[in-house]
Amino acid sequence: MKILKFGGTSVGSVENLHKVKEILTSDQEEKIVVCSAMSGVTDQLVRLVESIKFNNPEEITRSLHRLENKHYDVIDALVDNQEVKNTLKDGVSSIITEMFEVSSQEYSDIINSRIITFGETLLTYIFSGFLNSIGISNVLLDAKEFMHVDSVENPNIEKVRKKINKVLNDNIQSPIYITQGFVCIDENNQISHLKRGGSDYTATIIGAALNASEVQIWTDIDGLHNNDPRYVDGTHPIAHLTYNEAAELAYFGAKILHPQTVSPVVDKDIPVLLKNTFDPEAQGTVISNKVNRKGLKAISAKDGITAIKIKSNRMLMAHGYLRRIFEVFDNFNTSIDMITTSEIAISLTIDDTSNLDEIVKEIENYAEITVEQDHSIICIVGESVINDRNSYKLFEILNYIPVRMVSYGGSNNNISILVDTRDKIPTLRFLNERLFQIPEKAVV
């Protein structure tokens, strides 16, 4: 059994859905196919939630009609048989009716989750029906019946295993099962979600639960690149990454992967393959336990970082000071990414600023605190990268760009620097030139 996950672009048009169909039928192995919503749909649903929040019935109606028409158009272009067309449109119409009903209720977190996960419901319903109508037999599974994820950070894989095995036993056996990414049921038995981009995570949770032979993540790029191709020319896909490397890159900005994707499969050593729907023959990236080579592999950048400096003379020679500061962040559920200290000051970064005002108020009681927004963490990743003999070149950046913080040695696999977001692109380009201008094989 293997798991294949297709992202928003891969299922984002009729043409692309045909490509996905080709991939699914290219071998006979039993598979579970996890799909995202069509690209743009979840964003549209997020806006719909705003209309519910601000009680704007005209906008709700407009938005749901737009969504209905979009999916009707897909059915029209995808399906030839008129009867199948009608059946699928009726199905979409009942989903939209349900959405109207949910949208008429008062806003809450549950309403938010219910609405934003409907994109996956719509797409999987249509795609499964289409495949069956052309003789590619498959069974549509409702992810809400088995994705019982009490804690998003630490899912109970055993629970998912029991539930999915029951669902598979209760359904007829099929070479292809299709299900929705992103959606889950939380510890209060309510509909919830795995955060934006969470379908990747759905795929690896299912992969771990079923002990799959591999998890394939199909996107619109041929694997994870050594630098951000949006800003840097001449990047190349990396053939192998370790789980550690992939986790660091995903957490620190590599958009191709949800940050938690690899965590469920690490212990079981189930490989995760990153593949390109538009070039299925391309090698892509394999993520596994295997360390193919050590040293520098890739650079990524994470925006929206806030740098905080906390300074107090009372810190001099005092113990327990850091604990007091960390406690404040902890009390306000805010996690810290980077940190550097001197004898009387500490600098740290956060990305979630929802409780920043309260944090500042609290710390102001015993220290001077300054906050600088719009920073980016640039992260240099590779197994034992700190021992890579070319890593020193990274510090030449100090000649050209004002670096706000450096974190070196926190782990062997990551060196991070913090810069103003205005300097992000020049930094990425500079590092690409200095660190990757050596032929790959020469890096030990």
Q: At its nearest, how many Å lie between ligand ASP and the CB of residue 122?
A: 11
> Which span sits near Mg ion by CB under 5 A: 40-48, 195-203, 266-274, 316-324?
195-203
Q: Does 271 bind Mg ion (CB under 5 A)?
A: no
What is the C-alpha separation between 310 and 347, in angstroms, rounded?
6
CA neighbor of 31 nearest in space, from 76, 68, 1: 1
Q: At its nearest, how many Å lie between Mg ion and the CB of residue 38?
A: 13
Q: Which is nearer to Mg ion, 7 or 155 (CB)?
A: 7
**Residue 37, contacted partner among ligand ASP, Mg ion, none, CB below 5-8 A by kind:** ligand ASP
What is the C-alpha separation between 85 and 75, in angstroms, rounded?
6
What is the C-alpha separation between 378 and 299, in angstroms, rounded?
7
What is the C-alpha separation between 135 and 137, in angstroms, rounded?
6
Contacts with ligand ASP by CB under 6 A lie at 7-8, 36-37, 42, 119, 181-182, 196-199
**Residue 263, contacted partner among ligand ASP, Mg ion, none, CB below 5-8 A by kind:** none
Q: At its nearest, how many Å lie between ligand ASP and the CB of residue 199?
A: 3
**Residue 276, contacted partner among Mg ion, ligand ASP, none, CB below 5-8 A by kind:** none
Q: Does 259 bind Mg ion (CB under 5 A)?
A: no
**Residue 42, contacted partner among Mg ion, ligand ASP, none, CB below 5-8 A by kind:** ligand ASP
Nearby residues of 348 by Cβ (< 8 Å), 6 or more positions away: 307, 308, 310, 336, 337, 338, 339, 340
Q: Which residues of 411-437 are buried (b: 16+ CB within 10 A; e: fewer)?
A: eebbbbbbbbeebbeebbebbbebbbe
Q: Which residue is nearest to Mg ion (CB)?
A: 197
Beta bridge partners of 218: 6, 275
Residue type, 257: L
Q: Does 197 bind Mg ion (CB under 5 A)?
A: yes
Q: Which is nearer to ligand ASP, 219 or 413 (CB)?
A: 219
What is the C-alpha separation between 30 and 146, in angstroms, rounded?
19
Q: At its nearest, how many Å lie between Mg ion and the CB of residue 165?
A: 27
Q: Would you give the end-to-end CA distance of the chain in angstroms?
A: 36
**Residue 415, contacted partner among Mg ion, ligand ASP, none, CB below 5-8 A by kind:** none
Q: At its nearest, how many Å lie between ligand ASP and the CB of residue 201?
A: 8
| Residues forming the site for Mg ion (CB under 5 A) | 7, 197
